[in-house]
Structure 1
Amino acid sequence: MLEKIVQGIEPLDDYSMKKAKEYIDSLAKPLGSLGTLETLGIQLSGITKKIKNSFKKRCVIIMCSDNGVVEEGIASAPQYVTLAQTKHFIKGGTGVAALAKENNTELIVVDIGINSDEKIEGVIDKKIRKGTNNLYKEDSMTYEEAIKSIEIGIEMAKKVKEDGFEIVGVGEMGIGNTTTSSAVLSLLIDKDIDLLVGKGSGLTDKAFIKKKQVIKKAVERVNSNNPIEILKSVGGFDIGGMVGVFLGCAYYKIPVVVDGFISAVSALLACKINPLVKEYLIPSHKSYEIGYKLAMESLGLEPILNLNMRLGEGSGCPIAFSIIDFSMAIINNMGTFEDAEIDNSYLEEIRLEKNYKVEV
């Protein structure tokens, strides 16, 4: 399945983006004056092959999994919080649940590796096993498990496509996953650990030092730049699942919103598997985690919001959906120069003088 999906991803439709830009330029406003709202509209037209779009049926897929490395004391919360918060998603009590409810967004919660035998009503059971190995001592998972985690994410993208969802956000829950994602990022961009490892949800100074030591030792063991080998060696099942969602959304031509740090690292990993995935990504908000900036720089993307957030869970996605709605409102509802009976021939001279263009 993975090979088929990776090879089947296509670039955005250039013709549709060209026509979308021409239409946006015909709207009664100065050229480029709506900035990101315009570039979003052009990107989305390239995905859907339509100038006018609506993304009212939306969801956030949340991959939930535990990480064996927590036994090294590198997390501020105990491991059982993964299970507790997963239940809380279904009850509607988490940050992302509150934001999703306010913005007519469904949560699709997936147990891809929680350290529990409990079956949670409302959670999709795709458990590979009860948490990964301790990456400080050995590989997080087998190569086969890494592939399986990605393919589970692809299956979820296929499911939401079949269920009629028009746009997807990607989030996670897993105590210890800022450690796994930092290790993955270090290997993907070959940067020193001290430059990209943050305190996560709030470590003590002692635990923070230990966290960096654990990551340094783990990445020293890896001598491959193959993205799936990296996932296998130091990643988590949640990261693999998110990678699969990004790949699957690109294959099924669904716009996909990136949340914070862990989501961004997973998106980068997906782009290392197939660079065309980038064209389908919409970064939501700038994460407060220090590694986020490096992940975004490697992706060559800019978040559309800066709210000093660092919650994770997919919490930035419902907020970003509103910005996307505003982009669609401009294209779908705004009048043209012709509608307003305004002669816009002067704009061509401005375009030529300033070499005006919208980056896509």
Structure 2
Amino acid sequence: MSLTLQQQLQHIIDHKTKPLGALGRLEEVAMQIGLIQQTTKPVIQHPHIIVFAGDHGIATTGLVNTFPQEVTAQMVLNFMHGGAAINVFCRQHKLTLKVVDAGVNFDFSSNPVDLISAKIGYGTKNYLNEPAMSVAQAQQAIDKGKAIVAETAASGCNCIGLGEMGISNTSSAALIMSAMTGLPVVTFTGRGTGLNNDQLQTKIDTLHQVYEKHALSELKEKPIELLARIGGFEIAMMAGAYLEAVKQKMVVIVDGFITTAALLIANAIFMAEKQKSLVSDWKTLIDHCIFAHTSHEAGHEKILGRLGVRPLLNLSMRLGEGTGAALAMPLIQSAVTFLNEMASFESAGVSNKE
């Protein structure tokens, strides 16, 4: 009887010149990548980090943020000029970095920088008063995220990590996680860019008000409507990016708090399409993702636990930008390299314990 691909991969891993399981999580990652790529000789080609940036209308109120909305545009320019943490890590690990204007409240046309322009609008509306965007805009953002990743895959990239930038996007992420899990919004509400205790309480009270206003508890099965009510253009675009990356059989690296919220949206869309037989027999979108790190942001560890996943790193980071994904990428490359290049007991002439 022929072995399944999983059995073949396990046999190769177990017969490397090491004790069984001695490479720990790297063995799990090697197995997962082999299954994603459907081969016993997986490769990581031209890995990319794509950072999606967008503004949130709620940021203009100052109720949930300490930094002004203008910082989003300023940080995008910093990305383009190579000065941010994600630039440093991408240079160090030889990763290609792309930055996308998904909906920043700024006109970048006069700036001589290399930026992917996919702007849906100049920031979302203030969801404290009205829906953040229309359903049509949410779908448009999803479609643009898909198109960006399809183009990236066509360039020869088969491994992608997503990042984000957007003042107040931790609030949108907290609302999404609360709506998708049914847990109180306070479970996922953290200090973001540095709120003190009084400011944190104001943020919690504000988000609770938003949750009730938009009846988010009723939108768990309506992910695009949920995005329209309280999402961000960058979060919607990342959801589309995840969907396309899995379709392209890319290795997908999930960064932190906000990117995990986008993944929840993408997985809900995926499962709805699966029920309509519009996608293949994949179990869930989650099975095709490697989780980079546990964010120090409130609730991230809890949501990862509910998803049943174990990130590779726990460095108490909460920066975003795809920095966790960039730091995890060398470990992922190492997992593939040991699988392909490490000698077996037989090829090395090393006695194996029976």
* TM-score with structure 2 setting the length: 0.91
1-structure distance, mates of 2:302, 2:145: 24
Alignment pair present for 1:38 and 2:33: no
Q: Is the 8 A contact 1:82 1:175 kept in 2?
A: yes
Partner residue, 1:296: 304
Partner residue, 1:8: none
* TM-score with structure 1 setting the length: 0.89
Partner residue, 1:166: 158
1:47: Cα distance to partner? 1.4
Partner letter of residue 259 of structure 1?
Answer: D
Match for residue 114 of structure 2 among 113, 122, 125: 122
1:318: Cα distance to partner? 1.5
1-structure distance, mates of 2:42, 2:248: 17
Partner residue, 2:346: 338
SS at match of 2:345: coil
SS at match of 1:305: coil
2-structure distance, mates of 1:60, 1:157: 11
2-structure distance, mates of 1:207, 1:153: 33
1:255: Cα distance to partner? 0.5
1:56: Cα distance to partner? 4.2
Partner letter of residue 82 of structure 2?
Answer: G
2-structure distance, mates of 1:328, 1:282: 13
Map 1:1-360; keep pairs closer than 5 Å: 15-73=4-62, 74-119=64-109, 120=111, 121-220=113-212, 221-222=214-215, 223-225=218-220, 226-275=222-271, 276-344=284-352, 346=354
Structure 2's unaligned 5+ residue stretches are 272-283
1:344: Cα distance to partner? 3.5
Q: Is the 8 A contact 1:265 1:295 kept in 2?
A: no
2-structure distance, mates of 1:16, 1:253: 16
Q: Which stretch shifts more, 331-340 or 163-172?
A: 331-340
SS at match of 1:286: coil
Q: Is the 8 A contact 2:173 2:258 kept in 1?
A: yes
Q: Is the 8 A contact 1:64 1:110 kept in 2?
A: yes
Q: Which stretch shifts more, 291-300 or 62-71?
A: 291-300
Q: Which stretch shifts more, 203-212 or 58-67?
A: 203-212
1:48: Cα distance to partner? 1.3
1:286: Cα distance to partner? 1.1
Partner residue, 1:11: none
Q: Which stretch shifts more, 119-128 or 253-262?
A: 119-128
Partner letter of residue 50 of structure 2?
Answer: I
1-structure distance, mates of 2:59, 2:194: 14
2-structure distance, mates of 1:116, 1:28: 55
1:217: Cα distance to partner? 1.2
Structure 1's unaligned 5+ residue stretches are 1-13, 347-360
- Runs of 4+ in structure 1 off by over 3 angstroms are 342-345
1:345: Cα distance to partner? 6.6
Q: Is the 8 A contact 2:51 2:164 kept in 1?
A: yes
Q: Is the 8 A contact 1:17 1:43 kept in 2?
A: no
Q: Is the 8 A contact 2:45 2:156 kept in 1?
A: no
1-structure distance, mates of 2:229, 2:308: 26
1:299: Cα distance to partner? 2.0
Q: Which stretch shifts more, 316-325 or 215-224?
A: 215-224
Q: Is the 8 A contact 2:86 2:323 kept in 1?
A: yes
Give me the CA root mean square deviation. 1.5
Q: Which stretch shifts more, 57-66 or 325-334?
A: 325-334
